[in-house]
Structure 1
Amino acid sequence: MTAPLPPAPRGGSRVPLRVTLVALLVGLVAVALLVTALATTSLLRSYLTDQQDESLRSTVSQASPRVLQACLDGEYRVTPQGAYAGCLPPEADAVVDFQGPADDDSLPRLDGADVAAGDFAHHPRTVRAEDGTRWRVMSGELPGGYALVVGLDLEADQRAIKRLAAIEAVVGFVVLSVLAVAGNLLVRNSLRPLAEVERTAQAIAAGDLSQRVPAGDQRTEVGRLSSALNGMLSRIESAFRAQQASEAEARGSEEKMRRFVADASHELRTPLTSIRGFAELYRQGAVGTDEDVTRLMQRIESEGARMGELVEDLLLLARLDQRRPLAVAPVDLAELAGDAVHDARAVQPERPISLHLEEDLADVPVVLGDEARLRQVLGNLVTNALTHTPPDARITVTVGADPDPDVVQVRVADEGPGMGPEDARRAFERFYRADSSRTRADGASTAGGTGLGLAIVASLVAAHGGSVDLTTAPGEGATFTVRLRREGPPAGGAAPPA
């Protein structure tokens, strides 16, 4: 059953990061455009107002006698240019208009008292007409106590400002639209590695620890994030693989230990059963003659020796598993090979057994190692060949060079029946024998008869930092090749477990 997904956090934003970034960018630019538009409009309005004020001051300061005459005549003239002129007679309350627009509602509303008080004399002021038209008005003095009032229509300026505002609005809308599209594309491309990170995380959550985030430019935050994530994922994968390997190794070790204990118990039970049976025969008086007693004692002694050899082999493998140090010293492999051949000839004088030293040996085949253990390696290999091949099968022990000049080879080859692929693959396992039967045909106490000889060879060679290989096929004999380094076992001379 699939576990339910955890609820989404309530405080988190539901808006995608890409939309948030684009909206923030567009909003900031919109605020900037708005502030710019307001500042531009305000500056333009101030500029236009200053221009109107300068024009009014110039008109007031350059007023001619004709202006006073027009005021005295009282004749009103229509001017379509948006200009206004009027005068305030002495002791009068109303301004006399003598120049301005055709519509009376468009004339500026002026209070004679304000004009007489000089409110318009020094600084132009803005006044409105009945129809809402805005005028910029200023007053000045005329001969005879008259006051001149002039004004300029601000509608043209207002139209210019409104047009500018419209242009700014259109341009701002176009800029924001282009910015939104370009920002969306830019943010999407910038966040594409994060999408890869998301897909990688989903794949890892599904169990694929080999996934990695595509590497990016280390000068960018996303590139550095990708590198950090890849480093973290590599360490996680390594730790997970190591844990899996450790668990598999533990399961394999447990299975091997269980099989080892079962096989050791069986191998020890066989001679013990024989010894107990022979003793029972003697106790019951089934052995009558001295010759039978002698034969019975020999069988008991033989089974006891067999059991002792098995115990010695088990103790040796236990010591190797504990990585006990070796007694390292220079060892001549040619000498050990010669002794192994000599011992084999003493056991089976009629068998063709030969020693061969290859001519390509550039130096004396001396390695650093434990002489007693290396002697046991060659002895077990030769004894294995003697045990599992016919009496007339040739056995050849060869000492030669290796493609690696720091390595020496020792090969033990026989012309026996050979082994199949499955038997060859398991030849170095403890208590494994090609013959499924757990009893020996002749009951002789021979090395390797318990199925531990080749396992001891593999453990001892590994303890010396070397390797042992088997080359065989049915009907083609078997060749065991031991490779040992001249500098000897790894530092400390500790034996790794078999």
Structure 2
Amino acid sequence: MATHRRRGIPLRVSLVAATLVLVLCGLLASGVAVTSILRHSLISRIDSTLLDASRTWAQSPWKHSMSNGEGPDPARPPSKFYVRGISPDGHTVTAINDRNAEPALPPSNDVGPDPTTLHSVNGSDIEWRAVSVHGTHGGLTTVAIDLSDVQHTVRSLVWLQIGIGAAVLVVVGIAGYAVVRRSLRPLAEVEQTAAAIASGQLDRRVPERDPRTEVGRLSLALNGMLSQIQQAVADSESSAEKARGSEDRMRRFITDASHELRTPLTTIRGFAELYRQGAARDVAMLLSRIESEASRMGLLVDDLLMLARLDVQRPLEHHQVDLLALASDAVHDAQAIDPERTITLEFLEGPGTPEVLGDDARLRQVLSNLVANALQHTPASADITVRVGTEGDDAVLEVADRGPGMSQEDASRVFERFYRTDSSRARASGGTGLGLSIVDSLVRAHGGAVSLATAPGEGCCFRVTLPRVSEVAAQVS
């Protein structure tokens, strides 16, 4: 229970209390030392005076008549001394001053030749400093002086120290609390920052201080830790977002692949059932449709296998490839497929030659898919232009058409697998919806990028950039 209470004490209170305890110990030590030194100094002065007086009185012969103590007597000791003598014949003679009655001191035989502090035998709180010496005329002389002045001086000093100490403790407590509170202000800022971060404000930081101080080094360390935490949280959220996106794409891919495969399979099954039942009148047409759907399904499976290989990042063949030659072949092939279409080849001016290091067959497929996409999704009257050239350290390929174009929403998803811009997902063109996805994967496998610039009514322009041979060679070297 006591431990729990101690844990609940604020740090600033504990620090101030510890400071006050240390100051109190210092005041007590200094007070005891000063009081002891002062008392010792006063006693030393009294002892010196006492010894001088005792030697003076020891040289004087004692008279028995001095013991009456009545009336002024030139033989009485001056000032505050008390003298008691024992004559050689054993008589005791006393002389007291005008300030004190005869004190109740112990017998002279109990007092030695060195100054000694004595207490009154009658219980009084008065202390005496006394010394006994043997006189030159015989006998024993005892000289004493009361210490009331010393006691009063010491008592006054003690009370003065108590008052000053109390005032010092109050001042130190107030000043210490203010200093500690100001010194701990950065910790309060750390607490506020931590609370803000806990509420979701991950960009909050502790105010920076002088790095030469402990608080400054603490703030730097905390800010570094907070930056790492923020980066870790951002990376975690990004990874989670990517994982969710990948999961969504995989789910959509599986759904679309199943849908794409189910359509030709259903068609083949239907025609096969008609043939088995003998209901088909035109067997040649039926077999032609079955063959067509099987070919379509084969193309789909081939495309899926290619995407799967690209996903696992299997190495491609790398040879020096001239993109101008590939573009020329692609234009000739397209003109052979659609002789009525205007398809042209243009060269983009730039430094060097458009030669890259890559897989010739895969790069031909990139151009083939882009040109085929333009042929399938634009009217017969829409011109198609293939451009090739260089730009900086990259080789550039462009396939542009003057078709209807597409919206920005469609353009942002055009490279997704099985994505078709028409909402009905019509398959009259015979495409699988994987052509542009294959283009994107092949280009990225070659270290390049593909983009689309389009707008409704302004056609489409697919742009492929690939590192030129000189850039790749420089990286390898």
Fold similarity call, TM over 0.5: yes
Distance 1:208 1:81 in 2: 86
Matched letter for residue 456 of structure 1: I
Instruction: State the partner residue of 1:428.
Output: 415
Aligned Cα root-mean-square deviation (Å) = 3.1
Matched letter for residue 118 of structure 2: V
Distance of aligned partners of 1:80 and 1:179 in 2 relative to their CA distance in 1, 3 Å threshold: farther
- Please give the residue correspondences for 1:386-465 in structure 2 after superposition, counting only pairs within 5 Å: 386-402=375-391, 405-441=392-428, 444-445=429-430, 449-465=431-447
Q: 1:307 aligns with which of 297, 311, 324?
A: 297
Q: Spell out, residue by residue over 1:457-494, the C-alpha distance to the aligned partner (whole angstroms, 9 max, x if none).
A: 111111122211111111111111112122459x99xx
Q: Is residue 38 of structure 1 aligned with residue 32 of structure 2? A: yes
- Please give the residue correspondences for 1:147-186 in structure 2 after superposition, counting only pairs within 5 Å: 147-186=140-179
Matched letter for residue 43 of structure 2: T
Alignment gaps of 5+ in structure 1: 1-8, 493-498
Instruction: State the partner residue of 1:268.
Output: 261
Residue 63 of structure 1: how far off its partner (Å) = 4.4
* Equivalent pair of 2:58/2:133 in contact (CA under 8 Å): no
Q: Tell me the secondary structure at the aligned position of residue 7 of structure 2.
A: coil
- Please give the residue correspondences for 1:218-237 in structure 2 after superposition, counting only pairs within 5 Å: 219-237=212-230
Instruction: State the partner residue of 1:47.
Output: 41
Q: Tell me the secondary structure at the aligned position of residue 416 of structure 1.
A: coil
After TM superposition, the score normalised by the length of structure 1 is 0.83
| Structure 1, 468-477 or 249-258: larger mean CA deviation | 249-258
Q: Tell me the secondary structure at the aligned position of residue 181 of structure 1.
A: helix
Matched letter for residue 124 of structure 1: P
Q: Tell me the secondary structure at the aligned position of residue 96 of structure 1.
A: strand
Distance 1:132 1:222 in 2: 59
Distance of aligned partners of 1:62 and 1:95 in 2 relative to their CA distance in 1, 3 Å threshold: closer
Q: Is residue 325 of structure 1 aligned with residue 315 of structure 2? A: yes
- Please give the residue correspondences for 1:43-82 in structure 2 after superposition, counting only pairs within 5 Å: 43-63=37-57, 68=61, 77=72, 81-82=79-80
Q: Tell me the secondary structure at the aligned position of residue 84 of structure 1.
A: strand
Matched letter for residue 165 of structure 1: V
- Please give the residue correspondences for 1:113-192 in structure 2 after superposition, counting only pairs within 5 Å: 114-115=107-108, 117=109, 119-128=110-119, 132-192=125-185
After TM superposition, the score normalised by the length of structure 2 is 0.86
| Structure 1, 166-175 or 309-318: larger mean CA deviation | 166-175
Residue 267 of structure 1: how far off its partner (Å) = 1.6
* Equivalent pair of 2:58/2:134 in contact (CA under 8 Å): no
Q: Spell out, residue by residue over 1:194-235, the C-alpha distance to the aligned partner (whole angstroms, 9 max, x if none).
A: 333433444444455544444555555555554554455444
Distance 1:416 1:13 in 2: 77
* Equivalent pair of 1:406/1:485 in contact (CA under 8 Å): yes
Matched letter for residue 151 of structure 2: Q
Residue 385 of structure 1: how far off its partner (Å) = 1.1
- Please give the residue correspondences for 1:182-221 in structure 2 after superposition, counting only pairs within 5 Å: 182-216=175-209, 219-221=212-214
Instruction: State the partner residue of 2:15.
Output: 21
Distance 2:27 2:78 in 1: 37
Instruction: State the partner residue of 1:4.
Output: none
Q: 1:245 aligns with which of 238, 255, 265?
A: 238
Residue 240 of structure 1: how far off its partner (Å) = 4.1
Residue 47 of structure 1: how far off its partner (Å) = 1.4
* Equivalent pair of 1:108/1:135 in contact (CA under 8 Å): no
Q: Tell me the secondary structure at the aligned position of residue 145 of structure 1.
A: coil
Distance 1:286 1:69 in 2: 169
* Equivalent pair of 1:469/1:481 in contact (CA under 8 Å): yes
Residue 372 of structure 1: how far off its partner (Å) = 1.4
Q: Tell me the secondary structure at the aligned position of residue 257 of structure 1.
A: helix
